[in-house]
């Protein structure tokens, strides 16, 4: 049981380090750590990647 | 427009369709091949551009037509948003471009320059100009200029429901006859008549071509203006290289004194001199004597002549709407600022009132006592080593939970701010501040991004793009971080709740006031040193007051709540664990019993003396400030971990042993003003396009924070025991 707790704690530490690196990478691109969904400037931000369906094939390119 | 392996200019495509529809004998094999290729490959055969004043409903219409088939990016080389989408119409694909909202086609802002460039260089097949029916004269000012571009044009009079609700009547058929262009009344919000608008636009694109020899429709200017434009047009027409350009547009722009027009046409000196003589002769016909004013006046006179015939207003001329009546009080010279301050005070008093505290205490109990208790019991049963208690109880439950307890206060605060914004009051706040800021050489336009800084610094910095004057924009970006963002609220809530329990609301309110004052004073300092120059004029539209929609309000608050939870589960969680690691391991990466031997303690002890003059010279406070560079909330979570408190409540009992009331206030002021978080820093760097300026902003902010905090503590010592 002790070993299980220690392993779990290890996993928690690994998860925290992974989340920290991921968050720092996002922030280094100027992305808020709260996410973009309610950001009033998201459409003008190069860090924003909308999750909507990409344009249909054959439609005009920008 | 690209499809298959080759591109076709948009202007050719409508002709393709007509040629294809003609008799087989008259069609060339080449055109037949092209049109059949396009249909087979689902090529885009048409491009429609949406334009109009800001807030006229372009984006609502754009979203209605394109749904999720949108692409959002930036126009090349600039930070102005570019939105394109596709829609299917009768089996063919149409590209829709949502152009930036503009008031005219003068080259004063990037949005205007972009729109001109698109309309002239890319030349869509048809243009839809969205007009706000409740403000028709101002909106037609752009429309009459669009008509000069000679691109097929449809006017869509939007917000007809509001026009009708006011009791006004607009005869769109008459308006169409007077202007000589199709006019379709719509209500984009309710998708009323939007199909008719699209049908009209498509039909126009199919049947009319771009014809640079004449403007679309007709606008009757006074004789002097009309003759001056005709004379300049005739001069330009003499140069055959210019004949494919919309010369009516350029003629009126040259008459207006538009510098970009002359630059674009690359006129020789002789032609320029001739144009200048014509313009000076035109100026001599009016007491204004100024070409730009004269042409604007001529346009508005022509517009008024049209709207007087096409529109019947219910109210008497000059009568005040409800919004106007409210503004008489809210924007009153004497009452405006006190009302603004009172509203802000009420917001903070509500935020830290009994409702927020009740839910906060509830969350604290659930996390600390219930969850913490359960986890402790599990660890006891598992005979877990001591460090696991520190990690799971102090760092995770304590650190993350300590920040989560402030969720109710954050929700209340953002509900109030969203109410103010959605009702239209925030626009008045910018107007109110402009009067004050103008007196000290700043512009009220700076206050709009500053107000956004109450939410988050990152989008607030991006909002400064609306400022055309580069100096004012940089100055605004440098002072936005002084506005207290939502992430700092847990810091105030903790310290105000611990040291100023009876006056929490007032103390937190004072932080926001200090932030605004420091921003304004810093702006004044920068304006007189680094950013000398004239104050840019500030013209803004005050939207009518509206009752906030409960659905929209609920969605804003929910999104804020969700964002906060995401932040807690990612950066705050990870920083709490990392701080715990740094506090429990030494430089040799061995677990330490005494955390004064840890990595964090040695870093803290090295920098703590710097903060001694500010009243908080403990190493824990020093490294908490460092942790706040990642995200401001982590100041609280790191204090919980560093002091070994299992919860925010426990930390609150420990803090009086480390801080005095004065040093606590000084600490809050430092956290308010020092350099912003990492994502805000990166945003500043991107908007200023310079690492040097971003570092300068960060150092300036930290320097100001240091000075202000030191003054508070050192001067406060004389007054507080």
- B381 CB burial (10 A radius; 0-12, 13-18, 19+): exposed
Q: Does B567 touch chain A (CB under 8 A)?
A: yes
Confirm or reject contact between B379 and chain A (CB < 8 A).
yes
| pLDDT score at A42 | 62
Domain with CATH 1.10.287.1770 in chain B: 223-312
Amino acid A56: pLDDT:
38
Closest listed residue to residue B635, CA positions, set B471, B514, B488:
B488
Q: pLDDT-derived band of residue B25, with 50, 70 and 90 as boundaries?
A: very low
**pLDDT interval class at A47 (50, 70, 90):** low
Residues of A in contact with B46 (CB under 8 A): none
Counting residues of chain B whose pLDDT is more than 90, the rounded percentage is: 32
pLDDT tens track for B133-183: 888 888 999 999 999 998 899 999 998 877 877 778 888 999 999 999 999
Those of residues 421-460 in B touching chain A at CB distance below 8 A are 452, 456, 458-459
CA distances to A44, B288, B559 from A36, in Å: 11, 50, 9
| pLDDT on residue B31 | 47
pLDDT in tens, B229-262: 999 999 999 888 888 888 899 999 999 988 888 8
3-state SS, residue B203: helix
pLDDT tier for residue B673 given thresholds of 50, 70 and 90: very high
Q: How confident is the model at residue A57 (pLDDT cuts 50, 70, 90)?
A: very low
The predicted structure's pLDDT at residue B445: 76
Q: Mean of the pLDDT values across residues B677-701?
A: 91
Q: Which of A46, A56, A59, A61 to mutate to test the interface with B (most CBs of B within 10 A)?
A: A59
In the numeric block, which tokens belong to residue B637? 């979570």
- Confidence (pLDDT) at B425: 86
Cβ <8 Å between B679 and A50: no
B396 and A CB contact within 8 Å: yes
**Alpha carbon of B433: minimum distance to chain A alpha carbons (Å):** 22
CB B246 within 8 A of CB B236: no
* B236 CB within 8 Å of a chain A CB: no
- B475 in Cβ contact with B527 (< 8 Å): yes
Nearest CA in chain A to B633: A33
Could you report the per-residue pLDDT of B31-68, keeping only the tens digit for each? Answer: 455 555 555 555 556 889 999 988 788 888 888 888 75
ipTM score assigned to the predicted complex: 0.77
Per-residue model confidence (pLDDT) at position B8: 46
Q: For domain B2-207, which CATH number applies: 3.50.50.60, 1.10.3470.10, 3.40.50.300, 3.30.390.10?
A: 3.40.50.300
Please indicate whether, in this complex, the C-beta atoms of A27 and B682 are within 8 angstroms of each other. yes
Domain formed by B223-312, architecture: Orthogonal Bundle (1.10)
Q: How far does A13 lie from chain B, in Å, by closest CA?
A: 7
Nearest CA in chain A to B59: A43
pLDDT at A53 over 60: no
Q: Where in chain B is the domain with CATH 3.40.50.300?
A: 2-207
> What does the pLDDT average to over B9-38?
50
DSSP code of B394? I
- B284-298, B460-474, B568-582, B666-680: which has the minimum mean pLDDT? B460-474
Mean pLDDT computed over every residue of chain B: 84
pLDDT for position B705:
96
d(CA B649, CA B677): 26
Q: Is the pLDDT of residue B543 over 90?
A: no
**Minimal CA–CA distance to B476: which of B489, B462, B456?**
B462
Which pLDDT score, from 0 to 100, does residue A61 have? 30
CB contact under 8 Å between B47 and A17, yes or no, is no
Q: Which pLDDT band holds residue B282 (cuts at 50, 70, 90)?
A: very high
């Amino acid at each position: 049981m002790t070993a299980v707790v220690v392993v779990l704690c290890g996993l928690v530490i690994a998860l925290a380090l992974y989340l920290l690196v991921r968050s720092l990478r996002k922030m280094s691109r100027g992305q808020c750590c709260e996410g973009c969904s309610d950001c009033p400037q998201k459409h003008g931000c190069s860090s924003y990647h909308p999750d909507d369906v990409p344009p249909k094939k054959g439609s005009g390119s920008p | 427009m690209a499809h298959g392996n080759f591109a076709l200019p948009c202007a050719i495509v409508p002709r393709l369709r007509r040629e294809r529809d003609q008799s087989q004998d008259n069609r060339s094999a080449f055109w037949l091949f092209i049109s059949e290729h396009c249909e087979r490959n689902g090529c885009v055969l048409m491009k429609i551009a949406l334009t109009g004043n800001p807030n006229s409903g372009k984006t609502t219409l754009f979203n209605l037509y394109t749904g999720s088939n949108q692409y959002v990016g930036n126009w090349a080389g600039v930070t102005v948003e570019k939105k394109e989408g596709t829609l299917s119409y009768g089996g063919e694909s149409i590209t829709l471009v949502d152009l930036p909202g503009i008031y005219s086609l003068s080259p004063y802002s990037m949005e205007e320059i972009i729109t001109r460039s698109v309309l002239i260089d890319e030349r869509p097949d048809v243009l839809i100009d969205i007009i706000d029916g409740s403000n028709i004269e101002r909106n037609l000012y752009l429309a009459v200029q669009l008509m000069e571009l000679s691109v097929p044009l449809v006017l869509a009079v939007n917000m007809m429901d509001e026009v009708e609700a006011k009791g006004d009547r607009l005869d769109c058929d008459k308006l169409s006859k007077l202007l000589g262009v199709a006019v379709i009344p719509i209500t984009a919000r309710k998708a009323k008549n939007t199909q008719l608008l699209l049908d009209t636009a498509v039909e126009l694109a199919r049947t009319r071509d771009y014809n640079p020899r004449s403007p679309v429709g007709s606008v009757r200017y006074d004789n002097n203006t009309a003759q001056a434009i005709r004379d300049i047009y005739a001069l330009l027409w003499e140069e055959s290289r210019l004949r494919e350009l919309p010369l009516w547009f350029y003629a009126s722009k040259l008459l207006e004194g538009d510098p970009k027009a002359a630059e674009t046409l690359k006129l020789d000196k002789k032609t320029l001199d001739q144009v200048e003589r014509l313009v000076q002769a035109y100026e001599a016909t009016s007491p204004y004597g100024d070409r730009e004013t004269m042409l604007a006046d001529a346009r508005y006179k022509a517009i008024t002549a049209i709207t007087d015939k096409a529109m019947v207003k219910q109210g008497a001329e000059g009568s005040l709407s409800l919004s106007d009546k409210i503004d008489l009080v809210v924007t009153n010279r004497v009452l405006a600022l006190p009302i603004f301050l009172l509203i802000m005070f009420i917001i903070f008093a509500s935020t830290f009132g009994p409702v927020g505290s009740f839910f906060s205490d509830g969350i604290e109990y659930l996390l600390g006592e219930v969850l913490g208790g359960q986890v402790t019991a599990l660890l006891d049963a598992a005979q877990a080593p001591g460090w696991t208690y520190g990690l799971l109880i102090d760092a995770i439950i304590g650190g993350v939970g300590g920040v989560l307890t402030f969720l109710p206060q954050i929700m209340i605060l953002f509900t109030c701010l969203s109410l103010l914004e959605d009702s239209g009051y925030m626009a008045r706040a910018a107007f109110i501040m402009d009067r004050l800021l103008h007196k000290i050489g700043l512009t009220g336009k700076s206050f709009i991004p500053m107000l956004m800084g109450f939410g988050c610094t990152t989008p607030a910095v991006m909002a400064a793009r609306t400022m055309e004057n580069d100096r004012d924009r940089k100055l605004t970006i440098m002072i936005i971080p002084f506005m207290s963002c939502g992430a700092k609220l847990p810091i105030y809530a903790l310290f105000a709740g611990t040291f100023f329990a009876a006056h929490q609301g007032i103390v937190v309110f004072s932080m926001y006031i200090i932030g605004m004052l420091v921003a304004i004073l810093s702006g004044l300092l920068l304006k007189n040193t680094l950013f000398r120059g004239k104050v840019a004029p500030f013209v803004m539209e005050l939207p009518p007051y509206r009752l906030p929609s409960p659905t929209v309000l609920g969605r804003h608050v929910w999104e804020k709540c969700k964002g906060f939870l995401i932040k807690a589960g990612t950066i705050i969680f990870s920083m709490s664990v990392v701080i715990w690691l740094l506090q429990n391991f030494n430089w040799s990466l061995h677990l330490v019993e005494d955390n004064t031997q840890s990595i964090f303690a040695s870093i803290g002890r090295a920098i703590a003396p710097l903060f001694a003059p500010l009243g908080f010279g403990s190493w824990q406070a020093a490294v908490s400030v460092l942790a706040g560079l990642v995200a401001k909330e982590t100041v609280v979570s790191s204090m919980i971990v560093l002091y070994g408190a299992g919860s925010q409540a426990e930390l609150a009992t420990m803090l009086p042993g480390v801080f005095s009331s004065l040093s606590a206030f000084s600490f809050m002021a430092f956290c308010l003003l020092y350099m912003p978080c990492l994502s805000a820093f990166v945003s500043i760097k991107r908007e200023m396009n310079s690492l040097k300026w971003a570092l300068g902003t960060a150092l300036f902010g930290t320097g100001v924070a240091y000075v202000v905090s030191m003054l508070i503590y050192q001067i406060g010592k004389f007054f507080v025991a």
